[in-house]
Chain A
Amino acid sequence: QKEVEQNSGPLSVPEGAIASLNCTYSDRGSQSFFWYRQYSGKSPELIMSIYSNGDKEDGRFTAQLNKASQYVSLLIRDSQPSDSATYLCAVPTGGGNKLTFGTGTQLKVEL
């Protein structure tokens, strides 16, 4: 089992819809979780972090964490074409010292 797994997509949603991106992880000891956005040809940039079970909202973005199910998700409300990018899930592994990334989910928001 991979340490961090994501569906590679592409995930296509119409403009204004909710995009739901999912991530599972294998290390039950992980305590913090990060979502990065990567535009084509650019480096990853942090958009959300979450540490506790439940939801964390920041503008149009909501991160959801379920440690019992080892599952973290990112919801993007009112999706815009500018949200089209690859979304990377990252989880500290190896005792928390190493940040491991999933393969990323490509999101396409269509007009």
Chain B
Amino acid sequence: EAGVAQSPRYKIIEKRQSVAFWCNPISGHATLYWYQQILGQGPKLLIQFQNNGVVDDSQLPKDRFSAERLKGVDSTLKIQPAKLEDSAVYLCASSPVSGNTIYFGEGSWLTVV
């Protein structure tokens, strides 16, 4: 069974530029998550989708972050404009149902300079 796919794996951008990350969840998983993990901290949930609807986006900085999950499969997370404090790993994860075991992709490493 293929795992959660993410791209790009690494990205370096200047502050105020924009960046987009893509995620393809495990086939059949209805729930998709985007987590932000800053070095030395645990993953923080940014947004959670159930199929193509948003379940929780309470910690998503909506002035600069946006995410969509068209057709309930792939998802894209965008940051515009980026700030230095956005430097982190962006982890996409999926699960068959909400609150159940979640499976992470390898992450997209963002460095903002």
Tell me the A residues contacting B by CB distance below 8 Å: 4, 6, 8, 32, 34, 42-46, 49, 88, 92, 94, 96-104
CB under 8 Å from chain A, chain B span 69-107: 89, 91, 98-107
Q: Does B12 contact A (CB under 8 A)?
A: no
Cβ distance B40 to chain A, nearest Cβ, rounded Å: 8
Query: Whole-angstrom distance between the alpha carbons of A109 and B31 in the complex?
Result: 36
Q: Which residues of A contact B103 (CB under 8 A)?
A: 46
Listed residue (A32, A45, A99, A104) with the most chain B CB atoms within 10 angstroms of its CB: A99
A31 to B7, CA, bound (A): 34
Out of B40, B41, B102, B105, name the residue touching A99 (CB < 8 Å).
Answer: B102
Q: How many A-B residue pairs have CB under 8 A?
A: 53
Give residues 56-70 of B contacting A (CB, 8 Å).
Answer: 56
Q: Does the CB pair A102–B42 fall under 8 Å?
A: yes
Task: Decide if A97 touches B105 in the complex (CB within 8 Å).
Answer: no
B contact residues, total (Cβ < 8 Å):
23
Are A98 and B99 closer than 8 Å at their CB atoms?
yes
Are the C-beta atoms of A103 and B99 separated by less than 8 Å?
Answer: no
Shortest beta-carbon distance from B71 to chain A in Å: 22
Q: Which 9 pairs between the two chains have the least Cβ-Cβ distance?
A: A101-B42, A92-B99, A43-B104, A96-B99, A97-B98, A103-B42, A101-B43, A43-B107, A104-B42
Q: Find chain B residues with CB under 8 A from A49 CB.
A: 101
Q: Is the CB of B106 within 8 A of A103?
A: no
- How far apart are B9's CB and chain A's nearest CB, in angstroms? 11
Q: Are A32 and B99 in contact (CB under 8 A)?
A: yes
Q: Is the CB of A99 within 8 A of B99?
A: yes
Q: A43-B91, A98-B56, A99-B99 are in contact. Are A88 and B42 (CB under 8 A)?
A: yes
